[in-house]
Amino acid sequence: MNRHSISSDTSAHSVLVSWVSSICQTARGYGVDPLPLLDAAGLDAKLLHIPDARYPVDNMRRFWDLLIDQTGDPFFGLQVGREIQASALQGLGLAMITCASLADLMMLMVRYCKIISTTMRISFDHPPDFKGTKLVLRTDSGHEPMNSALLAVLAFIHRQACSLAQHKVVPVSVTLSLPDSGDTARLDDYFGVPVNLGCERDSISFAYEDTIEPYAGANPKLTDINATLVGDYLNRLRQMDITARVGTLIRETLEDGEPRLPDIAAKLHLTPRTLQRRLSSEGSSFNSLLDNLRYDMAHDLLMHSNLSITEIGFRLGFSDLSNFIRACHRWFGCTPQQHRENSLMIRV
């Protein structure tokens, strides 16, 4: 029987590896080797050669912390933003360099920022009496040290605006939620405007005339093609996220008894029907996820623990030992005890 293991990672959020590759390159400019830091943060360096791969957000936050410590630069994120190339964002970056205006560039970031990190949210804000556009950046489930990822994205957006316009574009304002240390000279110099620290939100605002200025390198057809590819990728990513999140919730509730679809759906703030539909679009179902997870856990516990058969059954959410035994017959073609003995014979 072909089984698909379910990630036991407690976080369903992830970061694009090609973005991390650029962060590593920036670290090398400081004379810092990023590979030992990746390892210390629990990130597999081999994935750097797989552009579509993704790293867990929690590990990435440890990586940012280590980078700031090793470089001694609290504004390391600013340097990432001023150096990272648009191609590091794959289809999103290619759509950006062919867009028609700053307004289009900002719209792409609002729609597709979760390609970079699934915790990132970018939205438009139109304050009263302000003739322009403000982008507000947020992250879910905590922040990177010194809000490094948000600072990097803000710096990247500003650099792209200047590059595509082929002249210096000065924002109307830049606000950061970083603590106000009084040391903003480097930030002010980069953005070309006094940066306000200690603010409620991280944001960048542009004047109306800058947002509508047409870009000479605009190619709407290429922008649409790449935006479509990015949209397809993001849809797949969202589907994978819901599968991983359901798997995590199932694992967390197994010892309390067999998880029920309505209870898991409620934790995700979805109706049971919506959850089933989203899982189905990924080619999965709640029952198959539950069964696959139990299969993996049963095999692991029978092979690598001294727990009794009854205890293992309870850990898998079976209230009746006979139901666990029947499941093992279906999974392994034998009883739990026989599977444990067969496994021990193979290992010897």
Structure tokens at 301: 């516990």
Residue 225 lies in a domain: no
**Structural domain of residue 266, as residue ranges?**
231-347
Which pLDDT score, from 0 to 100, does residue 239 have?
62
Q: Is the pLDDT of residue 231 over 50?
A: yes
Check residues 157 and 126 and name the one with the higher pLDDT: 157
In the block, which residue shows the tokens 């070309």?
Answer: 192
255-284: average pLDDT? 87
What does the pLDDT look like over 8-27, one tens digit per residue? 333 468 899 999 999 999 99
Give the pLDDT band of residue 95 (cuts 50, 70, 90).
Answer: very high
Which pLDDT score, from 0 to 100, does residue 78 have?
97
Lowest-confidence segment of 1-5, 86-90, 247-251 by average pLDDT: 1-5
Which pLDDT score, from 0 to 100, does residue 49 have?
87
Residue 4 lies in a domain: no
Q: Is the pLDDT of residue 2 over 60?
A: no
174-202: average pLDDT? 94
**Residues 241 and 268 grouped into a single domain:** yes
Decide: 246 and 268 in contact? Cβ < 8 Å. yes
**Residues 255 and 196 grouped into a single domain:** no
Q: Return the percentage of the chain with pLDDT > 70, whole number.
A: 93
Q: Is the pLDDT of residue 257 over 90?
A: no
According to DSSP, the residues that pair with 136 across neighbouring strands are: 123, 203
- The Cα–Cα gap between 334 and 339 comes to 6
Residue 6 lies in a domain: no
**Residues 146 and 283 grouped into a single domain:** no
Which pLDDT score, from 0 to 100, does residue 8 have?
31
* Among candidate residues 151, 131, 153, the one with its CA nearest the CA of residue 197: 151
Which pLDDT score, from 0 to 100, does residue 12 have?
60
The CATH number of the domain where 278 resides is what? Answer: 1.10.10.60
Output the DSSP codes for 255-267.
Answer: GGSS--HHHHHHH
In the block, which residue shows the tokens 């849809």?
Answer: 235
What does the pLDDT look like over 284-310, one tens digit per residue? 899 999 998 898 889 878 877 889 999
The CATH number of the domain where 37 resides is what? Answer: 3.90.1520.10
